[in-house]
Amino acid sequence: MSSKAQTIAFIPPRYGKEIVGGAEAVIAEAAHGLAMRGYNVEVLTTCAKDHYTWANEYPAGVEQDGKVTVRRFPVELDTPGIEREAIGGKILGGQVVPIEEQQRWANDSLRCSSLWHYVSQNGHNYRSFIFAPYMFWTTYAVSQIFPRKSIVMPCMHDEPEAYLDIFQPVINGAGGIWFLTEPEAELAGRIFDIPSRNSIVGAAVDIPESYNPESFIKKFSIKTPYLYYAGRREWGKGWQDLVEAFGQIISENPRCNLSLVTSGVGDIECAPHIRQRIIDVGFLSEEDRNNAMAGALAYVQPSARESFSRTVLEAWLAGTPVIANGMSEVVKWHVQRSQAGFCYNNIAEMVESILLLTQQSGAAAKLAEPGRKYVLDNYQWSQVLDRMEASLEQWMPLLKLMPVSQTAGVANV
């Protein structure tokens, strides 16, 4: 039997065309990419679509998505979440939390016991399991059933949860680690005893054949130059900082003819005079999102917690400069390497960066020029899949000789 005939399973907490999320998108495209290269690929995931409610919205069972087999398992939400909220407050507050409380925190949210049991009973039929991101129960619990067959793609930020004791065996005991960027690998090296089997595989974005920003502008009746933000509109992504900066610009510069266009999910809460200048285009198709990128004065990435930031690369492919939160080591690393954007360290600097592009004709296009070459040189899917495939071929034959564990005692199943 060839190595490619042995099944590889990707295990994300959510999977589907409607899923908005960086790690989930990377997992989906990597799965399809390896399937196109001749691997037998499955996705083992939950029936959940929404990462807030974790309600079972997809039907349980097996379906085919192109060359990829998808197996869905129902989520259990049979705990009240009170402990997760209380213990989570301690974690975010920097308190020392005993490991038993960490375990209760991890289990007092979504769980998927049928997925756990499926892997426990059928894991010997799989060559390897690839998990992402590190923090969800699907990785925390399931990756430890067959740890030496498990490749973890942490998608890690510098956040309090990363320092919890419960994630030490997830990373330290994995059969391999796939990092997205050098800053993520450096962060993990400060927290964990990283296995020698690790690789910076990166991620990639699809390259559109063409852009038609005029069609997007016409479709959504956009009358002015605009900033663009795509993603979840929530505090953890820096959305409120962007709204505050935008509000300051239009309040203090009445002649500034600028709009903020946003796609994705989440409420928009701000003063009425600011809200009327924010255009919410909802969930966009890939074509519309590409055209929105191409038509923007700049793409703003206000999140300080990014492990890769695909949207930044999409903006550069579209010829659009990036204004990014310098507190994100990963995005700052991209900007410094590409020289195709600005980084800011506070709201005042964000305002200054935006105003510079609005006031200097041609500045945006000139700033964006090196961005597309940076993406093409480093982040095409052929390059990423080559790195993934090389590590699979190097690590997995060795792992066949290693003992595997049949237990994941920390999981509440």
DSSP reduced 3-state for 299:
strand
**Mean pLDDT within 299-311:** 91
**Mean pLDDT within 292-307:** 94
DSSP β-ladder status, 298-301 and 226-232: parallel
pLDDT at 206: 87
Is the pLDDT at 404 greater than 70? The verdict is: no
pLDDT at 2: 56
DSSP letter for each residue of 79-101:
S-SHHHHHHHHHHHTT----HHH
Domain boundaries 3-204+380-399, CATH class: alpha beta
**Mean pLDDT within 357-386:** 92
Is the pLDDT at 171 greater than 90? The verdict is: yes
Q: Which two tokens stand for residue 324?
A: 């990014």
**Mean pLDDT within 136-152:** 96
Is the pLDDT at 361 greater than 80? The verdict is: no
Q: How many residues does the chain have?
A: 413
**Mean pLDDT within 169-187:** 96
367 pLDDT tier (thresholds 50, 70, 90) = very high
The reply to whether domains 3-204+380-399 and 213-377 share a CATH topology is yes
Across-strand partners of 381?
none
pLDDT at 405: 44
**Mean pLDDT within 40-60:** 94
Is the pLDDT at 349 greater than 80? The verdict is: yes
**Best CA proximity match to 369, nearest among 391, 346, 392, 338:** 338
> Which CATH number describes the domain made up of 213-377?
3.40.50.2000
In the chain, domain spans = 3-204+380-399, 213-377
Report which secondary-structure segment, H or E, holds 372: helix 363-378
Lowest-pLDDT choice from 18-22, 46-50, 185-189, 267-271? 18-22
Note the pLDDT tens digit of each residue in 72-126: 999 998 888 888 999 999 999 999 999 999 999 999 988 999 999 999 999 999 9
Q: Which two tokens stand for residue 88?
A: 């989570």
Sign of the CA dihedral 162, 164, 165, 166? negative
Choose between 183 and 79: higher pLDDT: 183
**pTM of structure:** 0.84
- Please report which residue ranges of 173-327 form alpha helices under DSSP H: 182-191, 213-219, 239-252, 272-275, 286-295, 310-317
d(CA 377, CA 384): 11
Note the pLDDT tens digit of each residue in 249-292: 999 998 889 999 999 888 898 999 999 999 999 989 989 999 99
Q: Give Dmax over CA atoms of the chain in angstroms.
A: 69
pLDDT at 22: 74
